[in-house]
Amino acid sequence: MRQQTYMTSLDSVRGLAAAMVVFHHFQIMPIWANNRWFANANLMVDLFFVLSGFVIAFSYCDKITDKQSLFDFQKKRFWRLYPLHLLMLMVFLGIEVANYFLAQIPNHITLYQSFTDNNITTFISNVFLTHSLGLHDTVTFNRASWSISVEFYTYLLFALATILSTPKLRIPVYAGLSMLGALVLIAFGTRLTYIQDMGFFRCIYSFFAGSVCYHIYAYLRERNKQSHPIVTIALLITAIVAIVYGNNRIHFLLPGVFSLLILSITLENENSIVNAVLQRKPFRYLGKISYSIYLGHGAVWWLTIEVLLNVFKLPTYLDHRGWVKFDVSPWLSIPISLVGFSLIILLSDLTYRFVEDRFRIKSKKKTMQSPVTQASEDSPAIEPAFLDIVIRRDGSFESSNQKRKQKKQGSKKRIKKGRSTLSS
């Protein structure tokens, strides 16, 4: 019997990237602001987009064939993203109200004025996931949710492109859309890190690069091609150097580097050192709750900063950009950051179990009622926030749904065989 393993490496990559974004958004601590890696870790969002493009293409490029399957796909994406987004939007509305009343307290320090950028107009656009489609001059409420806004509508663009193209034309169509996103960014002279105005095109650029990456992976896998850990490590070092030392032009090339990195990881042998590390339980756990980490960490950091400023009264200063920073040593910054990160993990575990997972199960039950989706659920499929692929030694793969189905069919055959033996 051939050995099998669950390929969770890409999910672990997502979890590690989410952790980098968490510390990037705690730059009020100089230890993270002065570190070039964490200062530029907002580029991990482009890695998220590439990963989503890869796994969505893997899951759905052969399933979205008509209006009904498009509707089922978009509905499933909605229930995957929206419940947690809406919950955190309500949390940040509560933060806005709390910040307003706290500002009325004498000598209480707040870092911003309530209900300026976060107002009724931006709240409504957040409700409809349009808040990062160029409607506003800045990110609002839960700032991290800007990427959820643009990714939701990129899903729709993917579905339309898949329906309107034949299988042979999908690589050029996806590649063309990726190039279109890149060209729009270049034409308007924007950096890859711009979000509130050009975030949609930034997502298109990286997402469809990931979709092209999947088709290259499928082509090479059919021919039993494998990558080597040295190639993966070299690409990883390239990405790190580009993030840390690269300028805006170098950063613009990162979606391509990320795509090659993902391609190399997925083509590696299941027992390679890179996959062995990425499949460790702590990394797999980070991957499982990565969406909750990403959307929920801002609320924890707000509470942490409030306590540090007004309870412990840590000293502050203004940096060269006029941003507030805590005037503390690294020996104090690191423990404080780790405590905050631990609280983020705790919150993320709760929101994963009681929001993400619960609504995902409900959405699956709802879509299972559709004959189109019923058939698709029996095919290899993965959720972008929880990769679940079985990789065989020969390089082929199947989903855990297929594996369970085969086991069920095998058990039925054994039962029938036993019955026939008894009757004879």
Report the phi/psi class of residue 107: left, alpha or beta, with left for phi > 0 and alpha for psi in -120 to 50.
left
Rounded Cα distance, 306 and 313, in Å: 9
What phi and psi, each to the nearest 5 degrees, are found at residue 144? Answer: -65, -20
Contact by Cβ (8 Å): 327, 172: no
Task: Say which residue the tokens 């009724």 belong to.
Answer: 120
What pLDDT score does 359 carry? 87
Take residue 76 and report the two structure tokens written for it: 């499933």
Backbone angles phi, psi at 377, to 5 degrees: -70, -20
Give the per-residue pLDDT at 418.
46
pLDDT-based confidence at residue 84 (cuts at 50, 70, 90):
very high
Does pLDDT of 386 surpass 80? no
pLDDT recorded at residue 253: 94
* Helix/strand/coil for 6: strand
Mean of pLDDT values over 279-295: 95
Q: How confident is the model at residue 361 (pLDDT cuts 50, 70, 90)?
A: low
CA–CA dist 66, 51 (Å, integer): 25
Q: What percent of the chain has pLDDT over 90?
A: 67
**What pLDDT shows up at residue 201?**
94
Mean pLDDT for the stretch of residues 229-236 = 94
Domain ranges of the chain: 10-388
pLDDT beyond 70 at 380? no
Q: Which tokens sit at 114?
A: 């309530």
Q: Which helix (H) or strand (E) holds 125?
A: helix 120-127
Report the distance separating Cα 25 and Cα 23, nearest Å: 5
* Rounded Cα distance, 85 and 78, in Å: 10
> Which has more confidence, 288 or 192?
288
Reduced to 3 states (helix: H, G, I; strand: E, B; else coil), residue 104 is coil
Average pLDDT over residues 199-208: 95
| Paired tokens of 159 | 């579905």
Rounded (5°) CA angle 186-192-194: 100
What number is the average pLDDT over the span 78-107?
96
State how far the Cα of 98 lies from the Cα of 243, in Å rounded to an integer: 37
Of 74-83, 129-138, 212-221, 389-398, the one with minimum mean pLDDT is: 389-398
Instruction: List, in order, residues 6 or more apart from 386 with CB less than 8 Å away.
Output: 11, 287, 288
Q: Other C-beta atoms within 10 Å of 268: how many?
A: 23
Tokens encoding 252: 């613009």
Is the model's pLDDT at 152 over the cut of 90? Answer: yes
Which of 106-115, 194-203, 347-356: highest mean pLDDT? Answer: 347-356
Write down the mean pLDDT value for the chain: 85
Query: What's the pTM?
Result: 0.85
